[in-house]
Amino acid sequence: AIQMTQSPSSLSASVGDRVTITCRASQDIRNDLGWYQQRPGKAPKLLIYAASSLESGVPSIFSGSGSGTDFTLTISSLQPEDFATYYCLQYYNYPQTFGQGTKVEVK
Amino acid sequence: EVQLVDSGGGLVKPGGSLRLSCAASGFTFVSYNMNWVRQAPGKGLEWVSSISSSGSYIFYADSVKGRFTISRDNAKNSLFLQMNSLRADDTAVYYCARSLPPDYWGQGTLVTVSS
């Protein structure tokens, strides 16, 4: 199975900060990568698909980049509602595998 | 509006069985692959199983292979997960989710395996 190594596991930030989260795949997954936001008690929400495509309705402060094995999610200016946990997901092959998650907390 | 409504969770003893359901509406169900994803309390997301739009292709995580069975009824816009031989480590919120990558998710249904 492809392993997804996500970092950091947590970070502290303030409203307005630029935040970067990375995911590394254990093998080439082309650009078959998604990013999700999960707020406590809620279902995950798809933010980015195909590594860099913004899901409909998602604010443009979210962006994704990368291909092959190294990927990045950037939040350009953190908003109060963005304090949440973020996950990457590879869907290049089965089993689909998630990163361990990054909890973005208030500094 | 796309809606996925998960149901069927509950408390079950180790070794027991449970059948989860997901009722879909607001989209052409027969055109989409579907998934089950779970999340143990306080833990990350874990993909469980996927089924193609026609039901011809099915995939399972190793952790559930041989115990869980995914199925769908395209006439009733419904997805199912039959869970047998349940173990304590199957305790989780189970979400159904549409497509690849999963774009719309149900609200989740809690499965607790405990004696």
Tens digits of residue pLDDT in A53-89: 999 999 999 999 999 999 999 999 999 999 999 999 9
Place of tokens 């004696």: B115
Residue of chain B with shortest Cα separation from A9: B44
**Chain A contacts in chain B segment 45-84 (CB below 8 A):** 45-47, 50, 59, 61-62
Instruction: Write the DSSP symbol of residue B105.
Output: B
In chain B (115 residues long), the average pLDDT of successive 10-residue segments reads: 98 98 98 98 98 97 98 98 98 97 98 98
pLDDT exceeding 90 applies to what percent of chain A?
100
CB count, 10 Å around CB of A67?
A: 15
